[in-house]
Amino acid sequence: MVPLRQKRWFESPGWQRTIFEPLQRKVEALNQRPCRASGRGPSLKANYPESFDSIALWAKASNIRPSEARVRFAQGAILSAIANSRSLKSILVFKGGNALDFVWQPNRSTEDLDFSSEDSSIDEAQLEKKLTDTLTATGRKLGILFRINSIKRQPPGPGKTYILYAVRVGYALPDDPQNRDRIERQEPSKAIVLLEISLNECICESTLVDFGPGTSLKVSTREDIVAEKLRALLQQALRNRTRQQDLLDIAVLIRSGAELDIKRISEYLLLKAEARNVPVSKQAFQNPEVRDRARADYDALESSTRRLFIPFNESWELLMELVARLEIPAQSTISVSL
**Which of 202, 220, 238 represents a domain boundary (last residue)?**
220
pLDDT of residue 199: 93
pLDDT of residue 158: 75
66 in any annotated domain: yes
337 in any annotated domain: no
> Structural domain tally of the chain?
2
Which structural domain range is residue 179 located in? 3-220
Q: Is the distance from CB of 130 to CB of 85 less than 8 angstroms?
A: yes
Co-location of 22 and 40 in the same domain? yes
Co-location of 165 and 306 in the same domain? no
Q: Is the distance from CB of 233 to CB of 192 less than 8 angstroms?
A: no
325, 327, 332, 334: CA torsion to nearest 10: -150
Query: How do residues 93-144 score in pLDDT, each as one tens digit?
Result: 999 999 999 999 989 888 899 999 999 899 999 999 999 999 999 999 999 9
Q: Is the distance from CB of 148 to CB of 132 less than 8 angstroms?
A: yes
Co-location of 188 and 270 in the same domain? no
321 or 240: which leads in pLDDT: 321
3-state secondary structure of 194: strand
127 in any annotated domain: yes
Residue 298 has pLDDT above 90, yes or no: yes
| Mean predicted lDDT score pLDDT of the chain | 87
For the four alpha carbons of 42, 174, 128 and 71, in that order, the dihedral sign comes to negative
Q: Is the distance from CB of 204 to CB of 1 less than 8 angstroms?
A: no
Co-location of 128 and 195 in the same domain? yes
206-214 average pLDDT score: 84
335 in any annotated domain: no
Q: How far is residue 197's CA from residue 174's CA, in Å, rounded to a whole number?
A: 28
